[in-house]
Amino acid sequence: MNEPAAIPPLTAETPTTLDPVRPVGAGHMVPWFDVWRNPIAQRCRRARLRGRHLLIYGVLGFTVIGFVFLVTYLWPVYQLDRPRTDAAKAALFPMLLIQGVVLMGMGTMALATGIARERDRDLLDYQRMTPLSPTTKILGYLFGLPSREYFLFALTVPFVLYAAWVAELSWLRLGKYYAVFFSAVCVYHMTGLCAGMVSRKPWQSAVVSVGMVVVLYLVLPQLSYVGLWVFEYLTIYPTFFTLIAEVIQAQGGPRFPGRVLRMYDDVRFFNWTVNPLWFSLLLQGGMLLTLFTVVRRKWIDAGWHSFSKPFGLLFVVGVHVLLVGTLWSTLSEGVWLRRVASQMSVHAPGVFGWLMGLYVGVSAAALLFVTFLITPDRHTALRGHRRARKAGRSVVPAAWDAAPALRWVVGSVVVVVLGYAALIAVARGNDRLFQGAMEWRWIAAPMFVLVPTVLLFHGLAERLKARFVLLALFGLWVFPIMVGVIVAIVSRDHLPVLYLGSPSPAMAGVLSLVAMTFHTGLPDRPWDDEFEREVLAHVPAIQAIFVVLTSALALFVQINRARWSRRWRAGPENLVATGDVPEPTKHPNE
């Protein structure tokens, strides 16, 4: 083994070749759209696609992919005496599957772990310091980190092209499929990048990345089977089943359940019919924009909130346009009911309750999520107050991260209530769905549960540290139900669960939806007296307990929060005196 070359020491005679100090490079920046010459993408390609990598991955990948292709292509030809066109269709499906696994699965993981590793080692700071635009840097990582996966994808392309040629698959159809495929890949990869940027530790990024991918692209699409079909268009499934599966099945390829194929015939959004291809691109574009916004903000400053306040409101509006548009067609025309009619054997009013429950559940999740993202914690708020005072402002500007989020949360709540009202109005116009009396107090009940819940959450999030918020919400929303369950077991009575759990929005919300379904939707009384006596009769009282208790707490927390802000505006010394701000300086050395 050779000795490493000696490094000559620096001496006074070492020639300095620096020109007079001056910045260089202006006018030679790579434009953001030139991904190939992007320095970050180039660096990633160099690191991940060295000759030895190409050799190992090339040989192994090509062999495995070739083996799978040949087996699936040659088996029908030589064992089943099928024509080559049918065999090619059979071979196409596994190739597309491999492409999905490589780019969507492995590529997403490569992005999440790669970016988290760079961030953890402070290597991102080097890139933050360069004068490239944030967009250029994000695109560099987006297309650079999964370069090995793109190489593996490239190995499958000859097989796909050959199979499509032999199978006489329309090139236009294949092109449309890949348009959505790459759009979905970008969304998945941006998800990985986002997970890597928001996670605190590299190992967390892998978990968060997998969690985000599973939730966004596996769990949420499952909601299509219970009414929220819109989320399925975040994935490649609708495009695959619309453009590819039907054709290759019809011409002798693998068989797919007819029900699945029928699901993607058209997209009814509000009362419009939208091409599934364009709907997929639209939805994935929205998702991409959201994730890009998060990554860009985190790139500019890791301490910024993931969403700005205006974007948070915009996000809530976007989610609710999708929600209302999806449920609108079902409530007005029963589109979704026709699709899954064989799956459901429930009363139409039950479906109404179920769909409204979906709306309330998804809305609540979106509201709490956005509230969490845009609400400044106590320290961020304090920084904002200090900065605003220094700038001579009496209040923190509303759009700053450090500004109180109340008005934005209230705006989001208004969006949710408007969406809910719109759906109720649509449902009233559908005689087949809504045959019963419209009792407004039952209709409005879920909103009376949702609004104070969100306001309480916001107040706590702005006044307490995250761990104390979690503790407070556990104590208020989960612990009472647990106590109720124990008491109910001991007392052999279910009422303790209902009443002790009444401070929980989960309990009050579910009971409100159940009561709404039974009191407003059904023309007759399909339930027995015992159910009414033992559950429904208690719902008004439980709702009242929840609304009074949660509203009082929300009011208390909001007043406390407002007083704190007012005291600060009156002068920081007031808060110092009460120990409400960390002055005088507490220092690590002390």
Partner 1 sequence: MIRTVDVRVDYDDVTAVKGLSFEVGAGEVFGLIGPNGSGKTSTIKVLATLLEPTYGEVYVGGHDTATHAADARAILGYMPDLAPVHDDLTCFEFLDQFAGAYGLPRTDRRRRVDEALDLVQLSAKRKAMAGTLSRGMTQRLVLAKTLLHRPAVMLLDEPASGLDPIARIELRDLLRRLADEGATILVSSHILTELSGFCTSVGIMEKGVMTHCGRIEALSAALEDHRQIVIELLEPADTYVNDFAELEHVSGTDAHGNIVTLRFTGQNGDAAALLKTLVEKGLPVCGFYERKRGIEDLMLKSGAREVS
Query: Is residue 382 near partner 1 by the rule CB under 8 A?
Result: yes
Query: Is residue 121 near partner 1 by the rule CB under 8 A?
Result: yes
Among 21, 36, 432, 440, binds partner 1 (CB under 8 A): 21
Among 1, 2, 3, 27, binds partner 1 (CB under 8 A): 27
Name beta bridge partners: 273: 268
d(CA 240, CA 246): 9
Among 2, 36, 131, 257, binds partner 1 (CB under 8 A): 131
For the bound state, the minimum distance from the C-beta of residue 143 to partner 1, rounded and expressed in Å, comes to: 15
d(CA 342, CA 331): 18
Question: Judged by CB under 8 A, which stretch of 157-165, 252-260, 453-461, 578-586 contacts partner 1?
Answer: 578-586
What is the SS3 assignment for 111-177? HHHHHHHHHHCCHHHHHHHCCCCHHHHHHHHHHHCCHHHHHHHHHHHHHHHHHHHHCCCCHHHHHHH
Question: Judged by CB under 8 A, which stretch of 36-44, 229-237, 504-512, 537-545 contacts partner 1?
Answer: 36-44
Query: Is residue 337 near partner 1 by the rule CB under 8 A?
Result: no
Q: Report the run of H or E that residue 350 belongs to, with start and end.
A: helix 348-374
Query: 298 to 317, contacts with partner 1 by CB under 8 A?
Result: 301, 303
Question: Judged by CB under 8 A, which stretch of 120-128, 214-222, 498-506, 508-516 contacts partner 1?
Answer: 120-128
Coil, strand, or helix at residue 581?
Answer: coil
Which tokens go with 216?
């966004």
d(CA 145, CA 40): 9
Query: Cis omega before residue 584 (within 30°)?
Result: yes
Query: Is residue 1 near partner 1 by the rule CB under 8 A?
Result: no
For the bound state, the minimum distance from the C-beta of residue 128 to partner 1, rounded and expressed in Å, comes to: 6
Question: Chain-centre distance of CA 133, in angstroms?
Answer: 25
Closer of 391 and 490 to partner 1 (Cβ): 391
Closer of 42 and 435 to partner 1 (Cβ): 42
For the bound state, the minimum distance from the C-beta of residue 13 to partner 1, rounded and expressed in Å, comes to: 10
Region for residue 22 given its phi and psi (left: phi exceeds 0; alpha: psi -120 to 50; beta: otherwise): beta
For residue 477, which of 497, 438, 447, 505 has the smallest C-alpha distance? 505
Which tokens go with 462?
């702005």
Among 99, 108, 127, 308, binds partner 1 (CB under 8 A): 127
Among 1, 2, 3, 18, binds partner 1 (CB under 8 A): 18
Residue 269 backbone phi and psi in degrees, to 5 = -120, 120
Coil, strand, or helix at residue 267?
Answer: strand
Query: Is residue 392 near partner 1 by the rule CB under 8 A?
Result: no
**471-510 footprint of partner 1 as x/- string (CB under 8 A):** ----------------------------------------
Query: Is residue 213 near partner 1 by the rule CB under 8 A?
Result: no
For the bound state, the minimum distance from the C-beta of residue 407 to partner 1, rounded and expressed in Å, comes to: 24
How far apart, in Å, are the Cα atoms of 111 and each of 104, 216, 281, 563?
11, 17, 22, 45
Query: Is residue 52 near partner 1 by the rule CB under 8 A?
Result: no
Question: Chain-centre distance of CA 280, in angstroms?
Answer: 16
Among 82, 84, 128, 569, binds partner 1 (CB under 8 A): 128
Query: Is residue 113 near partner 1 by the rule CB under 8 A?
Result: no
For the bound state, the minimum distance from the C-beta of residue 38 to partner 1, rounded and expressed in Å, comes to: 8
For the bound state, the minimum distance from the C-beta of residue 46 to partner 1, rounded and expressed in Å, comes to: 5
Which tokens go with 486?
């124990």
Closer of 6 and 172 to partner 1 (Cβ): 6
Name beta bridge partners: 272: 269
For the bound state, the minimum distance from the C-beta of residue 200 to partner 1, rounded and expressed in Å, comes to: 15
Among 130, 170, 491, 560, binds partner 1 (CB under 8 A): 130
**527-566 footprint of partner 1 as x/- string (CB under 8 A):** ----------------------------------------
Question: Chain-centre distance of CA 389, in angstroms?
Answer: 36
Query: Is residue 172 near partner 1 by the rule CB under 8 A?
Result: no
For the bound state, the minimum distance from the C-beta of residue 119 to partner 1, rounded and expressed in Å, comes to: 11
Q: What is the DSSP letter of 102?
A: I
Query: Is residue 104 near partner 1 by the rule CB under 8 A?
Result: no
Residues 6+ apart with CB under 8 A from 234: 184, 187, 216, 217, 220, 221, 283, 284, 287
Query: Is residue 101 near partner 1 by the rule CB under 8 A?
Result: no
Query: Is residue 467 near partner 1 by the rule CB under 8 A?
Result: no
Query: Is residue 23 near partner 1 by the rule CB under 8 A?
Result: yes
Q: What is the DSSP letter of 537?
A: G
The residue behind tokens 């993202």 is 373
Q: Report the run of H or E that residue 27 belongs to, with start and end.
A: none
- Counting residues that bind partner 1 (by CB under 8 A) gives 61
Closer of 11 and 342 to partner 1 (Cβ): 11
Query: Is residue 432 near partner 1 by the rule CB under 8 A?
Result: no
**Which amino acid, residue 363?**
S
d(CA 338, CA 250): 24
Interface residues with partner 1 (CB under 8 A) are 5-12, 14-30, 37, 39-40, 42-43, 46-48, 121-123, 125-132, 301, 303, 379, 382-383, 386-387, 390-391, 582-583, 585-590
